[in-house]
Amino acid sequence: MLMQLRENAQRPAQRLRLRKRWIAWLLIAAWGGLGAWHTIKPLPPGTNVYAVAEADEAVFLYDLTYRSPQGRMVREQRIFDEVMRIVDEARSFIVADFFLLNDLMGFADAVHRPLSRELANRLTARKAQNPELAILLVTDPINDVYGGAPSALLQELRTAGLDVIVTDLEPLRDSNPLYSAFWRMFVQWWGNSPPGGWLPNPFASDGSEITLRSWLALLNFKANHRKVIIADRADGALVGLVASANPHDASSAHSNVALRFEGELAEHALASEMAIARYSGWRDHIYAANSREPSADPTAARAQQTKLAFITEEAVRDHLLDALACTRNGDLIRIALFYLSDRRVIEALLDAAARGVAVQLILDPNRDAFGLEKDGIPNRPVANELTTRSDGAVAVRWYRTHGEQFHTKLALATCGDRLIASLGSANFTRRNLGGYNLEANVAVDAPADSALARDMTAYFERLWNNEDGVEYTAPFGAWQDESRARYWRYRLMEWSGLSTF
């Protein structure tokens, strides 16, 4: 009888333990399924674009910060001067998409150029001058710290009559499923609001505070990372610019690259940007007239031998891998880059070097981050791997930064008598090339002796050879890092997505 009473008393406890076990397994299954699906799901409209166009006109631009032989800091800046010109010449519309558009400085203590205010003033002035001018600005939620610190600058633009769209990141894939599955299950439903913040703002050093929800959103590590502007001119031409540069005050001294173009390529960029704005809540439309017919003069005929493509997200990696694979013994690969960590790109570079292709890399040493000092991940461990595994056939030099970043994203591959290039917003990392961030690049396929090809190769050679007595770049040994601990930390961060690169 006593035994029976004990068994009867134990049954509810056993059922409770069993129920908890099943709930735990269901949660684990839901976590894993959600994480897996959001890592591989289809991308939203306007993404993964590979749109080829004949080159009407294309101009290579760059910003460069360096120390002169006399010790003076020099900042050559062309990119945002061209952006402002596009704004000033716009006839009926401007569409711009910039990842960072704010004056937040992090822990940096100096502003070279107040780019966010400069661009905002230019856009509002054009709108006031021509109220019929349609202006669509797409940006990333990082600028209002994911809803935890509303941007006064963006609100000012809205008040001036601009359509300001903060990108909806939820339809994008998750690069770090271990965390993002938790976020989707338990956190995203909370929303966000500015009041009640009690945690430090990582983008400001003024003591301002943000909510826990802002920090939890930040840890998703996903972004609309594009840097694009498109407009029409009075002569009927569509003009566009794709860059690695942001209108961000703390980034204003960074070294960057851009390509300005006209014609059909701008139409492709426009269509992609409007699709992103629409799935993020925009309900209007930009009515762009057909771009003008290309000129038939002999110089333009020569330019027609150059093909451009607007490439985004995974298409950037596909194009890059194809360009590297086309090289043969005697060809040359030259890459200037802020972040290099994607394993498929690394293996492709090693394969090219094994074929007798000369491989030259100019990398940022990954030490400067808006007033903070980083430890060189991922570039230093990756550079050591490339030089070691290739027995020195892959040559690396480091750009000499002075608190700013070598923020360039440029790849050049000579394939016989052609130059194949890619430049824009995408770093060569899993997050940037795997369809997790929104990215936009321009691909170039041009005769190696064309003006555009010569401009891009001259830029690289200037830095590689330290021309004019300027020490732009340092030898590999200056930042060589043989630490196995840092190498495997980079590999874990790249594989898991639990990183900012």
Task: Give the rounded distance of the alpha carbon of 317 from its chain centre.
Answer: 13
List pLDDT tens digits, range 322-360: 999 999 999 999 999 999 999 999 999 999 999 999 999
51-279 maps to which CATH number? 3.30.870.10
CA-to-CA distance for 242 and 58, rounded, in angstroms? 11
Residue 287, both tokens: 């009515």
As a whole number, the mean pLDDT across the chain is 90
Per-residue burial over 402-417, b = 16 or more CB atoms within 10 Å of its CB, e = otherwise: ebbbbbbbbbbbbbee
List pLDDT tens digits, range 58-75: 999 999 999 999 999 999
Q: How many CB atoms lie within 10 A of CB 55?
A: 23
Asked, colleague to colleague, whether 51-279 and 305-496 share their fold, the answer is yes
Model confidence, pTM: 0.91
Residue 44: the pLDDT is 93
Residue 104: the pLDDT is 79
Residue 9: the pLDDT is 52
List pLDDT tens digits, range 174-190: 998 888 888 888 888 88
Residue 304: the pLDDT is 56
Q: Is the pLDDT of residue 106 over 80?
A: no
Would you say 397 and 475 are in contact if contact means Cβ atoms under 8 Å apart? Answer: yes
Class (C level, CATH) for 305-496: alpha beta
Task: Convert 62-80 into a string of H (helix), E (strand) and C (coil).
Answer: EEEEEECCCCCEEEECCHH
Would you say 105 and 249 are in contact if contact means Cβ atoms under 8 Å apart? Answer: yes
Where exactly are the structural domains of the chain?
51-279, 305-496
Residue 364: the pLDDT is 97
Q: Is the pLDDT of residue 283 over 60?
A: yes
Residue 280: the pLDDT is 96
Angle formed by the axes of helices 343-354 and 379-389, to 10°?
A: 30
Residue 300: the pLDDT is 47
**Which is more confidently placed, 214 or 335?**
335
Residue 370: the pLDDT is 73
Residue 287: the pLDDT is 77
Among 104, 6, 49, 60, smallest CA distance to 446 is for 60
List pLDDT tens digits, range 296-324: 554 444 445 899 999 999 999 999 999 99
What average pLDDT does range 240-244 have in this prediction?
98
List pLDDT tens digits, range 463-492: 999 999 999 999 999 999 999 999 999 999
List pLDDT tens digits, range 392-416: 999 999 999 999 999 999 999 999 9
